[in-house]
């Protein structure tokens, strides 16, 4: 999921205002060994994560559906602050990874390539062509994809989306496509969808294996 997750117990307890249980001695010693064997003073990853930031996610990363239900709430992970040491109950490398993933918003990757990071478990990319925008991997669900597109177009020229690329068959790389294009535009040929060979078969077989009954 977010790969961050400090410890499920810690995240849940902090989100609901309960004090987390202290680490056991075994956990504390294991986490201390990780701290001693990794280069936590190397800040290059943090510099890379911040590079190209244009704008943060609006409204603390909260996205709602048409009924007002919260479908994304990046701010819930705000307790994982950059520069703070990991609690004794949390593996320091996971805490550091979580700090990196909390660097969210609209970023410029290079000329004509932009990303919105943080709205989902994947990253949505916008490539600016001469006549339109190509969207790569439109996230897991519609509302976060729509919010990501709105953030991108709030800071970049309003060109039509002319193509969508699914890099592979995991749901977080195609599930939000209707947040960036309409089915009608695809049918009418205004938008082209590109996917790997065998995409439909892989998507269906994975869903049958991984879906809950």
- Note the pLDDT of residue 21: 85
**Domain locations in the chain?**
1-103, 105-213
pLDDT tier at 183 (50, 70, 90 boundaries)? very high
- Note the pLDDT of residue 194: 97
Mean pLDDT of the 133-156 span? 97
Lowest mean pLDDT among 24-38, 63-77, 173-187, 197-211: 197-211
- Note the pLDDT of residue 12: 47
Give long-range contacts, CB 8 A cutoff, 24+ apart: 158-162: 159/128, 159/129, 159/131, 159/132, 159/133, 160/132, 160/133, 160/190, 161/132, 161/133, 161/134, 161/135, 161/191, 162/129, 162/131, 162/132, 162/133, 162/134, 162/190, 162/191, 162/192
**CA–CA gap between residue 186 and residue 84 (Å, rounded):** 47
Mean pLDDT of the 142-148 span? 97
The CATH label, of 3.40.50.300, 3.30.465.10, 3.60.15.10, 3.40.50.970, for the domain at 105-213 is 3.60.15.10
- Note the pLDDT of residue 20: 76
CA proximity to 162, closest of 187, 195, 193, 196: 193
pLDDT tier at 5 (50, 70, 90 boundaries)? very low
Total-model pTM:
0.85
10 Cα distance to chain centroid: 21
């Amino acid at each position: 999921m977010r790969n961050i997750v400090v410890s499920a117990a810690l995240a849940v307890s902090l989100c609901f205002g309960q004090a987390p249980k202290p680490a056991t001695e075994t956990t504390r010693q294991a986490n201390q060994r990780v701290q001693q064997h990794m280069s936590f003073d190397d800040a290059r990853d943090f510099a890379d994560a911040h590079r190209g930031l244009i704008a943060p996610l609006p409204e603390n990363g909260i996205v709602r559906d048409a009924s007002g239900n919260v479908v994304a709430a990046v701010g819930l992970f705000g307790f994982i602050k950059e520069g703070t040491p990991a609690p004794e109950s949390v593996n320091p490398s996971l805490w550091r990874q979580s700090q990196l993933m909390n660097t969210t918003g609209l970023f410029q990757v290079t000329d004509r390539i932009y990303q919105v990071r943080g709205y989902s478990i994947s990253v949505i990319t916008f490539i600016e062509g001469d006549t339109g925008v190509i969207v790569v991997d439109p996230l897991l669900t519609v509302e976060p994809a729509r919010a990501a597109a709105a953030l991108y177009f709030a800071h970049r020229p309003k060109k039509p989306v002319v193509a969508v690329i699914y890099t592979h068959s995991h749901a977080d790389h195609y599930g939000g496509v209707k947040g960036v294009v309409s089915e009608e535009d695809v049918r009418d040929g205004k938008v082209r969808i590109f996917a790997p060979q065998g995409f439909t078969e892989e998507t269906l077989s994975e869903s049958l294996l991984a879906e809950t009954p």
